[in-house]
Structure 1
Amino acid sequence: MKAVLDRIVKIVEEEKGGLMNGGKTLPFKILIGVSILGHILSLISPSFFQLVTLSPSSLFGIQLWRLLTSPFVGHNILVLSITILSLHFGVRLLIQEYSTIHLLKTFIITQISCSILLCILSYFLFALFASSYLLYEVSLCGMAPVIASVMVMVKQFLPDSIVFDTGMGRIKYTHLPLNACLISFIASLFGLIRFVVPLEILLGTQLSWTYLRFLSPHETEAVIGDPSEHFAWASLFPSAFRPFCTLISKGTFRTLVKCGVCKRRQIRHVDVTSLLSNGGPSSPGMRTMPPPMDGERKDAERRRQKALAELNKRLKQQNEKKIDWDEDDDEDDKPEKVVSESVSPSTSSSLPLLSSSSDPPIA
């Protein structure tokens, strides 16, 4: 009876967790449904598409509402399919670490800032090269920046986890942003998507990384951004290019610090000499270290979980080998059973008694 009750409680807890996760992912399911409906209406009615889509010229014509409607319309089924996969599988993975509000906030900031930046870029191209193609003839639609944002957040959450193995090496989650940029560029060369989509993914990757690295507030602590080592800008590129990318990132960051755009993180150290000379932690000459930042704790926790998983895997393999060897040894070295017959009182009375030398002769 107790086992049955425990099983019922376990099932209820599993169903409760599924309902909670379903509630968390409900806004993203609504986004998927609205995107599908918007693409269907765009294919059916070209006038509807022209009404809700975004072009750089319409944005500066005080039609700011197009920033909110353009992500849900489009004509490319391939981009729509990748958007659905990213919002479905990516959010199911990210919802374990981030809240729904944090994900929606990151997606909205990335999508809107990418659209505005592309509009500004189109005006610069028109002013410098007198090219009006991007300004008047290109429509910004779809959620390509959101796709890039999902890839960057998955990289931040699971940098060392393996997606799949290939003949040339392992593809990890940390490689997803770069692979998304490369695949979209190759697809644009073959005419599968418009040339503006790789540009949106590239800008979306940079903008989402900038927000998560420097501006994203923590939900429970007064921590801004993610200063962990695995989330550095150079980690977006292959290992062979990382030294060169590190130099570029350091030079850019120093320039932004001098311009007042960014601020350096103040790190306090312990003055060991002053600590030993003044004799104790209560000395006025000692400078204490602050508790580790939230990003550092997350990085250490990810490494600890990875090491623990590898250790458990090795221990499991060793235990399986040990069990196999023990079974073989038990079969080979199994001692022979010695059957000893117990002598019952009735049997012992029927056996003849042996006479010793001190006993008298029996007549």
Structure 2
Amino acid sequence: MAPRLNIPPITRIALIVLVFQSTLCAGIRYQQSSAEAVLVPYLALVPQLSLIFPWTFLVTTLVENNVFTLAIAVLTLFYGGRYLERAWTSAEFARFLLIVSLIPNLITFGTLVALFAITGDVNWTLTSINGSIPLQISFLVAFSQLLPAHTVTLFRGVVSLRVPRFPLIHILAITILSLTRLLSVASFLLVTTAFLTSWTYLRFYKSSLPDLESSQPSSLRGDPSESFAFAEFFPDPVKPTISAFARQVYDLLVALRICTPFSAADISASRGESMMQRGGGGARAEAERRRAVALKALDQRLSAATGGPSPKPSGPPPSAQPSVQVQAQPNAPPEMLGETSYVPEREDGKQGP
């Protein structure tokens, strides 16, 4: 008997909508094929044509133009969506999808209209804004938060990269492709705005998962941990410059009351000071605490979904004796990241947003 896929509900719905809309859009383009590109403004967002179809600002993210990009989108949702929905909750994952789809589409729409107003070139407003690029980069940012100290080994060890390096690589790849005819300028706008949107939401606004091993309040929002600072996405030589610039932007946003500054209690909780007192140790303790919380919540939800008993912890807390083996959960698919390993970083006391 074939194994059951057991896809969470929001991920399942997103996959169905993605395949249905992409297939429908391809069929319409095939029937109306001509020398010029065929636009479908009631499915894909086109600035000049889609204002009378307001739902396109959301659903256009789940419309792909060809089989290759559709396959990438399906894999992104199937592996990334399953992992994140189980690690968070269906409601939180749905909220995340809504935010990282709608806001980048709105910003890209406004940018193309502004370019038309400046240049007078109507082609800006006839550029189709569609595709799962915002979801791809946003999922990479979310994995950078959940697995900040892990590395991915590719090509039999030839390439080894920490998870927070992948968002920047993805942005560079989309930028290069946008300079060719393979992708439009809308793709570049989508990937950059989605990167900033997803990081801002996870950094300052997302409700934090309560620490099951401590009295951390469940009302805590955002993630003030040093491992998720904006500069951590960039190579070491440019980190000081990026950190200084990010600090200036952060101070400006706080002054405008767009962002709420983190309290001392929030920063203390993110650093896992209680574990440091037990010998956890800085960035390593922080990374282990975050991983243990996510995996424990994931185990409980999987047990509840399958009707089995909830796993009971035995021995010392996971943060006291970190073990790489806990990553090999059969129902939590880290394999989508390739071969991973845990590499704790030195504690350098970096600060910043």
1:265-304 to 2 correspondences below 5 Å? 265-267=262-264, 290=265, 294-297=269-272, 299=287, 301-302=289-290
Residue 144 (structure 2) aligns with: 155
Residue 44 (structure 1) aligns with: 27
Answering whether residue 124 of structure 2 is matched by residue 141 of structure 1, we say no
Task: Note closer, same or farther for the CA distance 1:291–1:178 as it changes in structure 2 (3 Å cut).
Answer: closer
Task: Note closer, same or farther for the CA distance 1:229–1:52 as it changes in structure 2 (3 Å cut).
Answer: same
Residue 54 (structure 1) aligns with: 45
Deviations 1:67-124 (A, max 9, x none): 2332232313332222111111213333452112211211111100111111111222
Q: How far apart are the structure 2 equivalents of 1:109 and 1:196?
A: 18
SS of equivalent to 1:22: coil
Residue 169 of structure 1: CA displacement? Answer: 4.9
Task: Note closer, same or farther for the CA distance 1:124–1:189 as it changes in structure 2 (3 Å cut).
Answer: closer
Deviations 1:13-51 (A, max 9, x none): xxxxx98x926x232123222212222221221369333
**Aligned partners of 2:10 and 2:93 also within 8 Å:** no
Q: Share of identical aligned residues, percent?
A: 23
Deviations 1:219-266 (A, max 9, x none): 551111111111111112112211110011011111222222223223
Residue 109 (structure 1) aligns with: 99
Residue 320 (structure 1) aligns with: none
Q: How far apart are the structure 1 equivalents of 2:95 and 2:15?
A: 17
Which amino acid is the alignment partner of residue 40 of structure 2? F
Task: Note closer, same or farther for the CA distance 1:112–1:149 as it changes in structure 2 (3 Å cut).
Answer: same
Task: Note closer, same or farther for the CA distance 1:225–1:124 as it changes in structure 2 (3 Å cut).
Answer: same
**Aligned partners of 1:223 and 1:294 also within 8 Å:** no
Which amino acid is the alignment partner of residue 22 of structure 1? N
Query: How many residue pairs get matched?
Result: 269
Which amino acid is the alignment partner of residue 240 of structure 2? P
SS of equivalent to 1:171: strand
Q: How far apart are the structure 2 equivalents of 1:210 and 1:37?
A: 31
Residue 238 (structure 2) aligns with: 241
Residue 323 (structure 2) aligns with: 309
**Aligned partners of 1:156 and 1:231 also within 8 Å:** yes
Q: How far apart are the structure 2 equivalents of 1:173 and 1:215?
A: 22
Q: 2:181 aligns with which of 167, 186, 191?
A: 191
What is the TM-score when the length of structure 1 is the normalising length? Answer: 0.66
1:1-363 to 2 correspondences below 5 Å? 22=6, 25-46=8-29, 49-59=40-50, 61-135=51-125, 137-165=126-154, 169-218=159-208, 220=210, 221-267=218-264, 290=265, 294-297=269-272, 299=287, 301-302=289-290, 305=319, 308-309=322-323
**Aligned partners of 1:181 and 1:201 also within 8 Å:** yes
Structure 1 spans left out of the alignment, 5+ residues = 1-17, 268-289, 313-363
Residue 150 of structure 1: CA displacement? Answer: 0.7
Determine which structure has the larger helix proportion and give its number. Answer: 1
Q: Which has the larger radius of gyration?
A: 1
Structure 2 spans left out of the alignment, 5+ residues = 33-38, 211-217, 273-285, 292-317, 327-353
Q: How far apart are the structure 2 equivalents of 1:228 and 1:246?
A: 14
Which amino acid is the alignment partner of residue 222 of structure 1? S
**Aligned partners of 1:71 and 1:141 also within 8 Å:** yes
69-78 or 206-215, larger mean C-alpha shift: 69-78
Residue 183 of structure 1: CA displacement? Answer: 1.8
What is the TM-score when the length of structure 2 is the normalising length? Answer: 0.68
Q: RCO higher in 1 or 2 (8 Å CA, sep ≥ 6)?
A: 2
**Aligned partners of 2:149 and 2:287 also within 8 Å:** no
Deviations 1:126-182 (A, max 9, x none): 3333343222x1111122111111111111111121211567752121112111111
Q: How far apart are the structure 2 equivalents of 1:168 and 1:238?
A: 19
Q: How far apart are the structure 1 equivalents of 2:162 and 2:27?
A: 40
Which amino acid is the alignment partner of residue 323 of structure 2? A
Q: How far apart are the structure 2 equivalents of 1:158 and 1:89?
A: 15
30-39 or 204-213, larger mean C-alpha shift: 30-39
Q: How far apart are the structure 1 equivalents of 2:207 and 2:173?
A: 31
Task: Note closer, same or farther for the CA distance 1:306–1:145 as it changes in structure 2 (3 Å cut).
Answer: farther
